[in-house]
Structure 1
Amino acid sequence: MGLYLSLIVFCFQWTLCYSGIVTDCCSVYRNQVNCPRCRLESIPQNIGKNTTSLSLTYNNIKALKNDNGLISVRGNNLKVLDISNQLSSFSCSGHRLGNFSRLEEFVMSEIDCSMPHPTMFIEMQNLTKLTARSCLLNNNGMFYSQNLFKSLRHLAYVDLSSNQIAHLNASIFEDQADSMKTLIFANNLIDNLPVQTLEIFKSLELFDLRNNFISSLSYSEYSVLETYRSVSNRIKIKLAGNPLSCDCSNLDFLTWVDTTSVIDDKDDLVCIQNNIKVVTFLETLRDFRVECASPVWLIVSISLALGFCVSGILLRFAWRHSVGLRIWCRQPVEQDTFTYDVFISYCSKDCGWIRKTFTTWLDRHGIRYSAEDKTFDTGRDIYDNIMDAIDDSYQSVCH
């Protein structure tokens, strides 16, 4: 008989819980109501108006909207609301969250918000903490609307982990410039430091970027962190789980990691090349600098050697063709009278014939001529002598 009565009582409680009425399935402590795993399909109707904290995790609630399209809960004294991890296909997409003017903390993780209403949080003017992990926020461009967190000037803590977010629109947090303390974007697809977003905040204390795709920080990026530290000396950044590159191209970044106090989880950073901790790697940083310097000097030496060789070839070419180059580059001399009738240019093997035969013939016929052994100035550059001889002669003869 006792077993039969117990079974009836259990079935009655289960029916009340399933139909959305607070029963023994929910635990009530002062103004806090917790209804985890109660198979609720809707918000309990008999929640006290003085309830300040309501947890509805792991139920079958499909929506919180009323006839006006607002997601709301009876009573407006709630300060904490947790609707995360619904077992059914719960969706907040396309709806505003209404009747939560006093809400301070809202947890909505594992809820489909792939198409959030542009002003879904507009009525949560006192919200200070928002946790929205794995909500598919990046599946639609509406996440980047600058109105999403508009007017939430008390919002100090935002956790948007695991939402496949690849980049941040800095304007989305404009109204939290003075209030934001903690910003968590762990387990997303970010591959560089969101500098513009960081520069908005005036008192940020923690920027969590763990388990993204950041391989390094550029000089301008970590300079912003150091500059920001002078504004907010409590700033910390978490980078563990990112595929950090420990090679010569990142030597400046690794040197900064070794000296900075901005990185909060330095002991958990891992080099992707050999899967060793960065702090372990940094212990051999001096030797690594030498290894990086050796290839650099080799490249410099090879470059200099090639430069000298090319310069030598060019100089030799210029020397061999200097007369032609000078003639090509120089301005021709215009004159009506010439000092010589002919300029004789000859090679050394024809020297004997030129001096004994040809110049004798020229003298016998009264022809004035210019030649190396007769008119060239001693000590002057031979090519300058040649060009002047060409200018001073009516004709030139090459033999």
Structure 2
Amino acid sequence: MTARALIIGAPRSGSGKTSVTIGLLRAFARRGVKVRGIKTGPDYIDPGFHEAATHRPGLNLDSWAMAPDLLRHLARGQAEDAELLLIESAMGLFDGIVSEENRSGAASDLARLFRLPVLLVLDVSGQSQTAGVIAYGFAHYDPTVKIAACVLNRAGSERHKKLCGDAIQAAGIPVVGTILRDPSLVLPERHLGLVQASEHPEMDAHIERLADAMEASLDLDAIYAAAKPFNIPSGSTEKSLRPPGQRIALAQDAAFTFLYPHLMREWRSAGAEVVPFSPLADEAPAVGCDVCWLPGGYPELHAGRLAAAENFKTGLARFAETKPVHGECGGYMVLGETLEDADGVTHAMTGLLSHRTSFAKRKMNLGYRQAEIAENSPLGRKGDTIRGHEFHYASVVSPGTDQPFATIADGGGKPIGPTGGRRDLVSGAFFHAIARG
């Protein structure tokens, strides 16, 4: 079976790409189409929505963090047993960083690499004929990126829909439907501006409403026809992150949620076994495992329960006496001595590293990172370069006395300095690893 594929892009964040993508995924699934979603960029939230819509695992593809061969390998894996792939762009279609050719992180890189057309979602609120100028610009900005059709979103009336649609079609770009303004179709936001699919109590009902809107407003046959057969060569796993161990104890609950789908998939494909445990349920990592991984998440929302989880803390300390433990972002915060929550209350954490963190004074840290590993660790060998990113509001209020885990630079290679901590077999940092450099 050869899947068809289409990139869903927009001029900017907030245009409605995610709602359109989720609605289309469910609408095609209702028709019996074997459809899967992919999200571009370092976003581990939206693949959860894609999975909720299709009941098939989501995936991230990031052209800056992942080498082209790894992108091909992961994309082909997602296309197996699929008839349609919908690839949702992060931010604007061409938004990325200044980097080597087709390694900017923008969805347009994937359009070029896979030679895929784009369905452009235009939020037309506050404009009319100008929408035609925007669509024309997208169609002619880069001849290697083909705009197959447009979806108009948040039109205010039938007259507004006609003014925008006529202008775009006059520019030579098909319009495959218009979604009228409807506040009930907007996805909710919460802590950090993010809500995960598993946290929305009525997520399936919301997805059903989105699918109803897409079926009523868009030409699904035309959208399917706009997708192109996904014939790409086989890729390589050379740059993928190797499993940190044969049996991986993985913290997994409401406090530890942020793990890229491709990591789990690749670890298992390489023969590793993942053994989940819940710190919030006061569970310790299984003694039969040979490494423990604490992913990112929302420990600041559950700091009191984590502080009281004595079995978890003592079990983790016992595990760390003989086996490696690594924490990313939220996991790194839990490995420190204390965590101050948003109310200014300080909670005792595991103390396996000596730093202290705080969420009381929020400051966004966001961007691509290149990390050179200081010593052998679950992430790699000394001197290895790992590509990933940071996204956190918490800050280190006391750096402690541990040795740094890595030296990091930004996506353009500008040095930032040492980051994280390591002591004996324990390591951690705010850095989220995606792939080997």
- Whether TM-score is above 0.5 comes out as no
Higher relative contact order, chain-length normalized (CA < 8 Å, sep 6+): 2
Larger Rg: 1
Give 1 or 2: higher helix fraction. 1
Give 1 or 2: higher strand fraction. 2
**TM-score, normalised relative to structure 2:** 0.25
**TM-score, normalised relative to structure 1:** 0.27
